[in-house]
């Protein structure tokens, strides 16, 4: 049987000697070109990020002061006042939102991954996917409408903002928790079952501890996502100048809306107001950065090597 | 080619085959201090399905107490599937189904109203890949059976159970100084012995082992086989193995499973005393398999 021989200058032709394969300069040049293109694309992608961080830092620093962190804006008409009420507001609203979203999201993920079957599971996954795409203003209007039903029109509460943010946060928590739970190998569950452990106990005592680091990271990333949402908070928590840390009574300020407000209605002392807006933006970025760093630290400390 | 199958214990009496041993006969082995003993498992007309796929067909056999029963056969012939049906792990696979009777000490394991969790407490399992819980220390791994089964056990008693189980698994001397270190820090052979300690800590009546040595080197394998020889005095042991020499070395009774063709259900060809199966099998298929003509 004849075997086909490759005789022309196709890629399979054997070079007359290995040293003669210096003709591979074409390939090396192409390699170098691609490397340059890819590095260039990366640099291009980094430009907006670096420029953003630079601008915010440059413009935000003049607005930072001790007052910024300790004073609120109550009764202030001049240059003074601070954003402590906004900072506290952001922390409270985000905290309550996390308190609502984490248990619900975690249990949803546990259901989808450990118990769900067939049509119900597919339907739930579909709805979770849809929820991840809800525009934030819609979430805000939903929360407003819900509370208006019970408490009358014009109601503004910190907890309404938390409810709106939860609508945005729950699908993120479910998605990332589900991914982490999937990674827990099945043979660990089987080992627990073989010892005669009921299913719920296997989940609580074996699956969740194994997935713990990933779950915490997922939650922190979800929090970082919603901490800067402005639109839903505009319609739910309102704008206010004094400190309010009670989510169940009265309007509550937060950093995102504060920045928007200072920019929109700067009053007489425009520059001071703009400075404060930038400072608020800088604070928000700092909060997100701290959350990400904390997430990494927790992950490194608690991750389990699964052989 | 077969040679003398070397066995640790002397030739056994009572050769349970498919035709002998009327169903419903129960016998209990010598009781341990805790009052439970090794028990008999009877399987009668067991058929196992994954959805519509008929995986194992018409298995009827008796697994005698205080003996090591080896299930041998080529890949895919249903040995592991059958093993997992004994402690109701088979039904955990979505779509999996069991037909037939499996009884432990005369009680139907699949009867309505029987809690599979209870069955699994009485019939323990050791898996092919050692799987200690990675978030727990060695101590907690061994005590996992107690902790996870919501038995409030005082610490002193728990310490005693952990020590007894680790001694029983021949692991105590090696780990007694580092009981609080994570279970995943041990070698493969040690991890497998840890899993065995974990399984015997709950004092099962039967111990199922699914190819426990296939992921281990020969020295670790030898350690496990020695351990099995000791454990059979207290438990009934069923071991699935790909390794015929291991079955010949370590078991008292051997059951040979086979497939007619891929896609067909696996079935039990022959079961008998290991000596007989390896030197003088009744079925031609068995003889072909043990003499290495296929496998």
> Residue B105: inside a domain, yes or no?
yes
Note whether A72 and A37 are same-domain residues: no
> Residue A239: inside a domain, yes or no?
yes
| Cβ contact B148–A306 (<8 Å) | no
> Residue A178: inside a domain, yes or no?
yes
What is the domain-level CATH number for residue B73? 3.40.50.300
Cβ-contact B146, B34 below 8 angstroms: no
Note whether A131 and A50 are same-domain residues: no
Over chain B, what is the mean pLDDT? 84
The token pair at A232 is 């839903």
User: Is residue B274 predicted with pLDDT exceeding 50?
Assistant: yes
Whole-number pLDDT of residue B150: 65
Note whether A129 and A271 are same-domain residues: yes
> Residue B45: inside a domain, yes or no?
yes
The pTM is what? 0.77
Whole-number pLDDT of residue A22: 65
> Residue B257: inside a domain, yes or no?
yes
Q: Which of A40, A61, A82 is the last residue of a domain?
A: A61
Note whether A48 and A77 are same-domain residues: no
| Cβ contact B184–A205 (<8 Å) | no
Nearest chain B CA: its distance from A220 CA (Å)? 22
Note whether A101 and A88 are same-domain residues: yes
B43: left (phi over 0), alpha (psi -120 to 50) or beta: beta
Note whether A118 and A54 are same-domain residues: no
Note whether A220 and A76 are same-domain residues: yes
Residues A221-250 pLDDT 10s: 899 889 989 999 988 988 888 888 888 888
Note whether A182 and A108 are same-domain residues: yes
Angle between the A84-110 and A255-264 helix axes, to the nearest 10 degrees? 140
Cβ-contact A277, A259 below 8 angstroms: yes
User: Is residue A63 predicted with pLDDT exceeding 80?
Assistant: yes
> Residue B56: inside a domain, yes or no?
yes
Residue B65: domain span = 36-130+207-290
Question: 42-101 in A: which are within 8 Å (CB) of B?
Answer: none
- Please tell me if residue A301 touches chain B, with a CB cutoff of 8 Å: no
> Mean pLDDT throughout A24-42?
93
- Angle among Cα B141, B142, B144 to the nearest 5 degrees reads 60
- The number of domains in chain A is 2
> Mean pLDDT throughout A69-84?
79
List of chain B residues whose C-beta atoms are within 8 Å of the C-beta of residue A185: 131
Whole-number pLDDT of residue A62: 87
> Residue A121: inside a domain, yes or no?
yes
Residue A134: domain span = 64-302
> Residue A13: inside a domain, yes or no?
no
Whole-number pLDDT of residue A249: 87
Note whether A68 and A57 are same-domain residues: no
Residues B68-109 pLDDT 10s: 999 999 888 899 999 999 999 999 998 999 999 999 988 999
Q: What is the DSSP string of B230-274?
A: HHTTTSEEEEE-S-HHHHHHH-SEEEEEEESSTTSPEEEEEEEEH
Which of B87, B88, B115, B134 to mutate to test binding with chain A, by most A CBs within 10 Å of its CB?
B134
| Cβ contact A194–B125 (<8 Å) | yes
Element (H, E) at A41: helix A25-60
> Residue B18: inside a domain, yes or no?
no
The secondary structure of chain A in percent helix, strand, coil, rounded to multiples of 5, reads: 75, 0, 25
> Residue B276: inside a domain, yes or no?
yes
> Residue B145: inside a domain, yes or no?
no
Q: Which of A9, A43, A61 is the last residue of a domain?
A: A61
Note whether A83 and A178 are same-domain residues: yes
- The number of domains in chain B is 1
Residues B118-168 pLDDT 10s: 899 999 999 999 999 999 999 999 999 888 876 688 899 999 999 999 998
- Please tell me if residue B144 touches chain A, with a CB cutoff of 8 Å: yes
Q: Which of A61, A81, A106 is the last residue of a domain?
A: A61
> Residue A142: inside a domain, yes or no?
yes
Note whether A81 and A191 are same-domain residues: yes
Note whether A167 and A272 are same-domain residues: yes
Whole-number pLDDT of residue A306: 63
What is the domain-level CATH number for residue A160? 1.10.3720.10
> Residue B1: inside a domain, yes or no?
no
């Amino acid at each position: 049987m004849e075997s086909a021989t490759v005789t022309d200058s196709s890629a399979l032709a054997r070079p007359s000697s290995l040293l003669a394969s210096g003709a591979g300069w074409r390939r090396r040049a192409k390699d170098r070109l691609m490397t340059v293109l890819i590095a260039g694309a990366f640099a291009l992608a980094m430009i907006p990020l670096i420029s953003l961080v630079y601008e915010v830092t440059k413009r935000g620093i003049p607005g930072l002061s001790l007052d910024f962190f300790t004073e609120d804006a109550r009764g202030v008409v001049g240059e003074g006042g601070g954003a402590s009420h906004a900072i506290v507001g952001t922390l409270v609203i985000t905290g309550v939102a996390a308190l609502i979203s984490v248990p619900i999201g975690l249990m949803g993920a546990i259901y989808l991954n450990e118990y769900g079957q067939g049509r119900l599971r597919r339907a739930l996954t579909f709805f979770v996917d849809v929820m991840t795409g809800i525009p934030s203003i819609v979430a805000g209007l939903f929360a407003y409408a819900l509370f208006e039903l019970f408490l009358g029109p014009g109601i503004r509460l910190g907890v309404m903002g938390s409810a709106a943010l939860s609508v945005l946060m729950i699908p993120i928590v479910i998605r990332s928790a589900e991914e982490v739970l999937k990674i827990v190998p099945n043979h660990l569950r089987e080992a627990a079952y073989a010892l005669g452990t009921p299913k719920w106990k296997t989940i609580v005592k074996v699956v969740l501890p194994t997935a713990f680091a990933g779950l915490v990271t997922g939650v922190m990333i979800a929090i970082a996502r919603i901490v800067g949402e402005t639109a839903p908070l505009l319609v739910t928590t309102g704008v206010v100048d004094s400190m309010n840390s009670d989510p169940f009574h009265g309007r509550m300020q937060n950093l995102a809306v504060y920045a928007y407000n200072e920019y929109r209605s700067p009053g007489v002392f425009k520059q001071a107001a703009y400075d404060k807006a930038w400072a608020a933006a800088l604070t928000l970025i700092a909060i997100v950065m701290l959350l990400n760093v904390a997430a990494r630290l927790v992950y490194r400390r608690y991750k389990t090597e699964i052989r | 080619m077969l040679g003398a199958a070397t066995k640790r214990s002397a030739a056994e009496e009572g050769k349970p085959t498919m035709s002998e041993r009327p169903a419903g006969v129960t016998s209990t082995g010598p009781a341990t201090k805790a009052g439970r003993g090794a028990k008999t498992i009877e399987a009668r007309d067991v058929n196992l399905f994954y959805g519509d796929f008929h995986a194992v067909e018409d298995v009827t056999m008796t697994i005698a107490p205080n003996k090591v029963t080896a299930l041998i056969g080529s890949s895919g012939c249903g040995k592991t599937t059958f093993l997992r049906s004994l402690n109701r792990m088979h039904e955990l696979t979505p779509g999996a189904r069991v037909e037939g009777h499996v009884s432990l000490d005369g009680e139907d394991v699949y009867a309505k109203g029987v809690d599979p969790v209870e069955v699994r407490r009485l019939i323990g399992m050791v898996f092919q890949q050692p799987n200690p819980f990675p978030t727990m220390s060695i101590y907690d791994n061994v005590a996992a059976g107690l902790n996870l089964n919501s038995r409030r056990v005082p610490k002193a008693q728990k310490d005693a159970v952990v020590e007894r189980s680790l001694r029983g698994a021949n692991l105590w001397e090696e780990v007694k100084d580092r009981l609080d270190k994570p279970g995943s820090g041990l070698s493969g052979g040690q991890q497998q012995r840890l899993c065995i300690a974990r399984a015997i800590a709950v004092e099962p009546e039967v111990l199922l082992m699914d190819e426990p040595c296939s992921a281990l080197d020969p020295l670790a394998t030898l350690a496990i086989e020695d351990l099995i020889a000791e454990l059979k005095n207290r438990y009934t042991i069923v071991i699935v193995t790909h390794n015929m020499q291991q079955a010949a070395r370590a078991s008292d009774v051997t059951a040979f499973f086979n497939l007619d063709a891929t896609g067909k259900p696996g079935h039990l060809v022959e079961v008998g005393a290991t000596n007989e199966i390896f030197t003088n099998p009744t079925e031609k298929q068995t003889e072909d398999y043990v003499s290495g003509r296929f496998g």
